[in-house]
Amino acid sequence: MSSWLSSPYRSAGIYIGGSMRACGDGNLSSAWVSQVRSMGWGVLPIYVGVQAPCVGQSGLATIVASQAASQGTTSADDAVAQAQRFGLGSGTPIYYDMEAYSSSVSGCTATVMTFISAWTAELHRRGYKSGAYGSSASLMVDMSRSVGSAGFVAPDDVWFAHWNQLQTTSDSSSYPSFPDRYWSRHQRLHQYSGGAEQTWGGATLNIDANWVDASVAGTAVPVDYGTNVVGPGSSGFVFTGSMTYWRPLATSGLKGLAYWTYSNGSTEANGATWSPQLSPGLYDVEANITSTNATAKALYTIRDALGTTTKVVDQAPISGYTSLGTHKAVAGSSISVHVGDNDPSSTTAKIGVDAMAFRLIATAPSPPGVVSAAGGNARATISWSAASANGSLVTGYRVTATPGGASATTTGTTTTTTITGLTNGTSYVFTVRATNAAGTSPASAPSAPVTPRSGSSFIALSPKRVLDTRTGLGAAKAKVGPGGQVTLTVTGLPSGTAAVALNVTATNPTATSYLTVYPDGATRPTASNLNFARAQTIANLVIARVGTGNKVTFYNAAGTVDIIADLAGYYAPGAGAGYTAATPK
């Protein structure tokens, strides 16, 4: 068992008892069971006793129809005794081996169903789980037809034998009367191959191969390729098509478990699928290609949250990982990769299969930072701190109002927006979500409540220089002459801004004069906003209405002067004490 840890197998059947068991205990003991379980093997306890009256094999003890229930109970009691002898306690599944029989023989099916019901009921009474092994054609079909009928007690798990070489727990395509809807919650095992010799770790065994998705005693530890890496023998990997044509490449591959098969030409006959459970995010998907027995132009099909893509990889020159591209996983929709043997260029080329790595490169952004809001007239202006991108650039934000759900979106890195259509007098809070190529962030913490009202409210800002004629900021780099004017466009203001608060400074004047600040496009008032003497530097806070496009004009009466303006805030449509603009006089 130690040698076979180099194989893709991780569960082993053990015959614990029954009158038809072909051999004694041999090495089987409670110590042996404990030892192999500690290695990471799961064990499948099998009990083989009396068989169906119409069993296909000769020389076997059979169920007596009139004693079917008592024989089922007695078998279960003995199975529990044997399980306990090998250290297999309550909760362990025990599988009854019921070999293939002819269901067409009158009364045979009813006898078997009575036996299985009694077997199951007694195991349950004793605290064990019930399993049943048998042919799809007989036992599985008969039990499926009996589900829901009076008196029938279905086993917890089923183990069906159909040597079709397929690693699947569905057999409904061959036996529709054994439908997938029964025993559908990780309650199935499939014996898909029998009597085959395999060598792993230098040890050769003749085995019946099984695909397991059901209860085992102990914990079967799959082959561990590393975080988000799957391959033969690990969870999330399966061969498709007949295992007859898949050949192991012992000692090759990431874990020495690579396989290969010949190309089938233009039509797929066999394949392999990697389908790990991934957390949401963007992943670089990489296939590990072995240096031997991988010579085909392999067609990979990748399915993710965005749809299906394909990529042809010429395996011949590759040894190691090669990227299949970046793909997206979301909650409820992971990423799967399938490769087929359909290389149309050659039927002698070999398709190599080994590990597939799903390397996380980006996740959805973190929630945006502190959100602030200012109410306006039936609107609110919202600002927030940028979200952490987490590997992929933020492409936009969505702001949502509560109550009502009104929303607005921004693109790129813009971190302010205005939501209109709000109800004056209603208190609102706002949350923000960020989006990137990997997904959408959780919502931010809500803003403090704001209440839109008619009128205008003052929004204070950290002072920001917006005009300096000495440097060319906001206007030409030149003093303003006598009777001259400059027009400033104040950027970054929300739609509907009524006025701005500017700290206006006059410096380097050549004559006594004054400045008048007024809305662009309006008639210049006769009053002044800032008076100064020759060579004086002086400032004054000016509240000025804005014209179309948030523009204001600065007029100089005499001499030449440099003008500086710092934006200290603005009056937005909305709440609180209103600002009513008047013409200076």
> Average pLDDT of the chain?
95
- Nearest-angstrom CA–CA distance, 575 and 458: 9
User: Distance between CA 556 and CA 511 in Å, rounded?
Assistant: 11
User: For the residues 57-67, what does the mean pLDDT come to?
Assistant: 97
- Measured from the Cβ of residue 414, the count of other Cβ atoms closer than 10 Å reads 12
H and E: helices and strands count for the chain:
4, 34
Calpha distance 364→499 (Å, rounded):
39
The answer as to CATH 3.40.50.300 being correct for domain 457-573 is no
Give the CATH H-level superfamily of domain 371-454. Answer: Immunoglobulins (2.60.40.10)
Tell me, yes or no, if the two domains 237-362 and 371-454 fold the same way.
no
CATH of 3-221, picked from 3.40.50.720, 3.20.20.80, 3.40.190.10, 1.20.1530.20, is: 3.20.20.80
CA-based Rg of the chain, rounded to a whole angstrom? 39
- pLDDT at res. 584: 54
pLDDT digits (tens, 9 = 90+) for 318-364: 999 999 999 999 999 999 999 999 987 777 899 999 999 999 999 99
Relative to beta strand 485-489, strand 429-436 is unpaired
Query: Is the model's pLDDT at 575 over the cut of 50?
Result: no
What pLDDT shows up at residue 460? 85
Q: Does residue 190 register a pLDDT over 70?
A: yes
Of the candidate ranges 100-104, 254-258, 311-315, 453-457, the one whose mean pLDDT is the lowest = 453-457
CB half-sphere exposure, 461, CA atoms < 13 A: 18
Q: What is the pLDDT of residue 448?
A: 93
| Dist CA 572 CA 499 (whole Å) | 8
The per-residue pLDDT for range 292-310, each reduced to its tens digit, is: 999 999 999 999 999 999 9
Confidence of residue 251 (pLDDT cuts 50, 70, 90): confident
126-170 pLDDT, tens digit each? 999 999 999 999 999 999 999 999 999 999 999 999 999 999 999
CB 506, CB 531: distance < 8 Å: no
Using a 10 angstrom Cβ sphere, with 0-12 exposed, 13-18 middle and 19 or more buried, the burial of residue 145 is middle
Determine contact, residues 498/571, Cβ cutoff 8 Å: yes
pLDDT at residue 227 greater than cutoff 50: yes
3-state SS record for 542-556: EEEECCCCCEEEEEE
CATH architecture of 237-362: Sandwich (2.60)
> What pLDDT does residue 157 have?
98
Q: Is 143 helix (H, G, I), strand (E, B) or coil?
A: helix
pTM of the predicted protein model: 0.73
**What is the spatial distance between Cα 124 and Cα 561, in angstroms, rounded to a whole number?**
98
Does residue 373 have a pLDDT over 70? Answer: yes
pLDDT, tens only, 385-429: 999 999 999 999 999 999 999 999 999 999 999 999 999 999 999
Neighbours of 150 (CB within 10 A): 5
**Which pLDDT belongs to residue 577?**
45
Helix axes 68-85, 108-125, angle to 10 degrees: 40
